[in-house]
Amino acid sequence: MATSRTPQPGAEDYLPLLFGFAVNQIAGTVSRLGVPDALGDSALTVAELAATTGTHAGFLRRLLRAAAAAGLLTIGEGERFSLTPLGAIYRSDHPLQAAPLDAMHAAPAVWQAWGALEQAVRTGKPAFDLVHGAGLFDKLKTDPELAQRFHDAMGAGSRVQIPAITENFDFTGFRHIVDVGGGNGTHLSAVLNANPKLRGTVFDTANGVLAAPQVLKEAGVEDRCDIVEGSFFDSVPAGADGYLLKNILHDWDDDSSTRILRNCREAMAKDGRVVVFTSVLPEGRVGEDPVEALGVSVFDIEMMAVTTGLERTLTEFEQLFAASGLKLSGLTPLPCPFMYHAVEAVAA
């Protein structure tokens, strides 16, 4: 009598799980060596690339062959390498901005934190803190190279997210908005340029707003925008009717996020709103895009690895709002990876 057997996973199934870290480092090393920019739209030999990137030709050849196997490069006649469309996302001029994002995720300090993920799950403490004895944001104050990678990565993410926000979220109901943790004002400048009748305030620490005057001036919005220094854990500028929190709350645990939101609640005008621009974890698995779901789930684990924060479901946002004297008032999906939304709240 014939017996049915459960099909066993093939190499295409288990290789990404077992060796995903290796593929990440292959792609990242190719990127950080400058190979994508060196290639551009051309095809070059190992010798030409080694001379351009200042690398060991023998080791570089092995790396490039592995990158070709991973789908980043093609190998043509005379063993000339060229970029595939996938490899091209690592060019510095590509709109997806993979290069600065990779530079952050593959930074030794971050890489080491991911290596302590098991310990983080066992202890309930961020892996970054366990490895380095300090949190990410404290480390950024003492590690200029890591800080530069971090800010470059945040800027790269913003270049994708900002058009999705300005083109798809309705700001017409606001008179004056505060960009809480708004950094150098890039996000707020784009919002103000898209909404000429709107006034704004960029609010962040002294270091955070250091470049804001120049950014606002170059954007032509300095006459409609104030700059205020401070910590959102202490207070936020009062009297506005809109408080924007773009990629802020996912960096912080519930207690810290509640503190930030309460400060916004206390500061905002009677008809004010808080708008959280963030990924929203799916509540269940029905109808979800598996790629989107994986992306936001990986981001959630990254928060576990490097911060005290987390990605949240809509229900978890409702609970966070309730603890802060707010209530959910709107949800706008934005055409931006991964499950990115504008989550709105008003006074409860």
Residues designated catalytic: 250
Position of tokens 């990115």?
Answer: 340
Tokens of 270: 């009677």
Place of tokens 């490069």: 73
Residue with tokens 């913003």: 158
As a whole number of angstroms, the distance between CA 42 and CA 36 comes to 10
| Residues 335 and 168 sit within 8 Å (Cβ to Cβ) | yes
**Contact of 271 with 241, CB cutoff 8 Å:** yes
Helix intervals (H) in 33-143 = 35-39, 46-53, 57-69, 98-105, 108-115, 117-123, 127-132, 136-142
User: Helix (H) and strand (E) counts for the chain?
Assistant: 15, 10
